[in-house]
Structure 1
Amino acid sequence: MRILVENGPHSFENLSPTDIEKTMAEQTGLVWLDLNGDGLDVCRKVMEDVFHFHPLAVDDALVETHIPKIDDWGEYFYLALEGVHSEQLLEDINKSLELDVFMGKRYIVTYHPQTIRAIEVVWANCQRDQRLLQRGSNYLLYQIMDELANEYMLLIDRLDERVEDIEDQVMEEPDSGLLQDIFSIKRSLLNMRRIVAPQREVLNKLSRGDFELVGQKERMYYRDVYDHLVRVQDITENLRDLVSGALDTYLSVVNNRLNDIMKTLTIITTLFMPLSFLTGFFGMNFFEPSGGMRSWTDMLPFFITLAVMVGMPVGMFLWMRKRAWM
């Protein structure tokens, strides 16, 4: 539990609910309270006893899990937002980070059980430059949402690079592992759409002027973040199309390779059909050699022939494995 204040000493940490109530009573400027890793009972006490948030909004923040949304409670907003780690595994994007925000005229309360990079960046900026707090709660909320959008863009850039690698691998060396990567990236892009689309609607509501707490001047900032999210969603849709195209290309390449393999095997079979007939006909023990070649029926030629018959399938098997036919 930590707090930033606009006036007086700038930053406090490890405060009790009583200290926060005292700080709120003394301060006339903006206050930012960040609840990260604190117990649910402590957070509930602060939200209900100090800030007097509605119990339903408190339950939404502490108990429920929501897609991005905004609720207007008159004197304050409740926002459920979602963040991502730009360095997280591309196959694990479905595990987003929920960020709950309460915003009033002279305070912002953020709650997140896990560390969110966007919060840390804005917190550090406010500690370096106190003027950020002096610009009001709307501007501070804009900073937080803008950093969340930046994290989306960094993750989208990584997904874009991975899609390019997949497209190159599809034409060079398609295999079953690549097919798994294609489906994994496609699922990650669907999860990104699930995160970004509702959050874009939240920014759209803030930028339209539907709420009294958002003035005409602040709407421009929210419109800026909205434009960022529109771009993120457009890139996500384009990447989904590229991945779908890569999947079609993969299936086409694999099918063509299978046709080539079948053609080669057909040629081999056709070449050996006459030989199989000849060896099958003359290899029967119906005739005794009459040309004085009884040595061909001794034990040594027998073992040599047997070794050739055993070694030939093994050699063909290894050759086919080397050609990636099996």
Structure 2
Amino acid sequence: MKRTRRSRSKKVGMPPGSLIHLGEVKTKHSELTLFRYDAQQLSESNATSLATLDTKTRDGEVLWLNVYGLHDPELMRHIGEAFHLHPLVMEDILNTDQRPKLDVYDNHLFVVTRFFSYDKQSVQIESEQVSIVLGHNFVLTFQERPTGSFDPVRERLRANKGHIRSSDAGYLAYTLLDVIVDRYFIVLEQIGDDCDYLEESLLYRPGEHMLQNIHKLKRETMELRRAVWPLREVINSLVRNESGYFQHDTVLYLRDVYDHTVHFIESLEALRDLLAGMLDIYLSSISNRVNMEVRALTVVAMLFMPATLIAGIFGMNFVHMPWLEHRDGFWFAIALMGGIGSFMALIFWRRQWLSRRLF
């Protein structure tokens, strides 16, 4: 997961609710998309400022405002004033390093969660903060950059599929949370595919790059768990519905999202255990390779040891030595070296020391 240092020095000494953006600017201009709908009709508007949009809420209608780009404090201030949001909500939206959490206020509730995407090339998870504000007849979503993450929900609204158009704002908030959690499983599946490939490669062709990839995957899954774990408690709090923003039928659907979150965390734990086992396999493979290389060197050294011994004996500087001045002494020494070496090689072969690939 990409890590960036976010300076908080700009907020030192500032009062609570100060609108200061903390985080990476991921889009040049802020974009706003407004959906207003009921069971019979739907209107959709796009703008770059709030002044050109009709944000007045009406009975019987649900308003969904999505904001791309969180680096414009003035725009955030106008949105907060238009929907009477608590200053602490706007402050948390602009701080893109928040952990998943739920805050309940008098006229709205505030949920912080995260989107994830996986880059196979860099073996890295990219994270984006998504904030959701739920009122009695409106939903506000804030994203760091334009993505198609909520496109399935928009298509369902346009095509009037499912129960979104005939339901309240709480059902829309549930649908958005369901899409977020479903995307977690896509990331988990992609990481799992890479783990399967690495596990298979470890047994046949382990390399140094695999250790780096295993370490990256372990680090990414750890960061993913750290980001998703609090979301379970957030959704569990929504299921209890102490705020009363969700109808009974919607709470049943939220329970399903909670089950998916628990299942995701359990699957992530299993994946982390798999990566830990893969690291052990890698270290064992490297140790086995070193042992094979040492074995090969030992066999070669033992084969040449008799020749070295014979050459050392005949190389001593004594005046009188047997066979030293013999006409065939050289060839006798060579034959003796070769014979002993061949005999030892035969013994090694019968003991299957030479039957496996050593080089």
TM range (shorter): 0.7 to 0.9
Deviations 1:154-183 (A, max 9, x none): 111111111111211121111211111111
1:57 pairs with 2:86: no
- Match of residue 282 from structure 2: 250
Q: Using the alignment, how far apart are the partners of 2:358 and 2:136 within structure 1?
A: 67
1:167 pairs with 2:199: yes
Deviations 1:123-147 (A, max 9, x none): 2322222762331111111111111
Q: Deviation at 1:254?
A: 2.0
Deviations 1:221-269 (A, max 9, x none): 1111111111111111111111111111222222222222222211211
* SS of structure 2 residue aligned to 1:96: strand
Deviations 1:162-208 (A, max 9, x none): 11112111211112111111111111211221122111211111112
Q: Using the alignment, how far apart are the partners of 2:111 and 2:310 within structure 1?
A: 84
Q: Which amino acid aligns with 2:50?
A: P
Question: 2:36 touches 2:43 (CA, 8 Å); kept in 1?
Answer: yes
Q: Assess, with a 3 A threshold, how the Cα gap between structure 1 residues 275 and 292 changes in structure 2: closer, same or farther.
A: closer
Which sections of structure 1, spanning at least 5 residues, go unmatched? 297-322
Question: 1:85 touches 1:117 (CA, 8 Å); kept in 2?
Answer: no
Q: Using the alignment, how far apart are the partners of 2:239 and 2:154 within structure 1?
A: 24
Q: Using the alignment, how far apart are the partners of 1:124 and 1:324 within structure 2?
A: 61
Structure 1 residue ranges (4+ consecutive) displaced by more than 6 angstroms after TM superposition: 284-287
Question: 1:105 touches 1:137 (CA, 8 Å); kept in 2?
Answer: yes
* SS of structure 1 residue aligned to 2:111: strand
- Match of residue 119 from structure 1: 150
Aligned runs of 1:113-262 on 2, under 5 Å?
Answer: 113-129=144-160, 132-262=164-294
Q: Using the alignment, how far apart are the partners of 2:239 and 2:190 within structure 1?
A: 29
Which sections of structure 2, spanning at least 5 residues, go unmatched? 1-31, 332-356
Q: Assess, with a 3 A threshold, how the Cα gap between structure 1 residues 55 and 88 changes in structure 2: closer, same or farther.
A: farther
- Match of residue 12 from structure 1: 45
Q: Using the alignment, how far apart are the partners of 2:82 and 2:194 within structure 1?
A: 48
* SS of structure 2 residue aligned to 1:174: coil
Q: Using the alignment, how far apart are the partners of 2:236 and 2:42 within structure 1?
A: 36
1:264 pairs with 2:296: yes
- Match of residue 311 from structure 1: none
Q: Using the alignment, how far apart are the partners of 1:218 and 1:257 within structure 2?
A: 58
TM-score, normalising length from structure 2?
Answer: 0.74
Q: Which amino acid aligns with 2:65?
A: L
- Match of residue 305 from structure 1: none
Q: Using the alignment, how far apart are the partners of 1:90 and 1:188 within structure 2?
A: 11
Aligned length: 297
Q: Deviation at 1:81?
A: 0.8
Give the alignment's Cα RMSD to 1 decimal. Answer: 2.8
* SS of structure 1 residue aligned to 2:223: helix
Q: Deviation at 1:96?
A: 0.9
Q: Using the alignment, how far apart are the partners of 1:104 and 1:11 within structure 2?
A: 19
Q: Using the alignment, how far apart are the partners of 2:101 and 2:66 within structure 1?
A: 20
Q: Deviation at 1:27?
A: 6.7
Question: 1:81 touches 1:99 (CA, 8 Å); kept in 2?
Answer: yes
Q: Deviation at 1:98?
A: 0.2
Q: Assess, with a 3 A threshold, how the Cα gap between structure 1 residues 182 and 4 changes in structure 2: closer, same or farther.
A: same
- Match of residue 20 from structure 2: none
TM-score, normalising length from structure 1?
Answer: 0.81
**Segment of structure 1 superposing worse, 61-70 or 34-43:** 34-43
Deviations 1:93-137 (A, max 9, x none): 1x3110011110110111112134322332232222276233111
Question: 1:44 touches 1:58 (CA, 8 Å); kept in 2?
Answer: yes
* SS of structure 2 residue aligned to 1:53: coil
Q: Using the alignment, how far apart are the partners of 1:271 and 1:39 within structure 2?
A: 73
Question: 1:83 touches 1:116 (CA, 8 Å); kept in 2?
Answer: no
- Match of residue 9 from structure 2: none
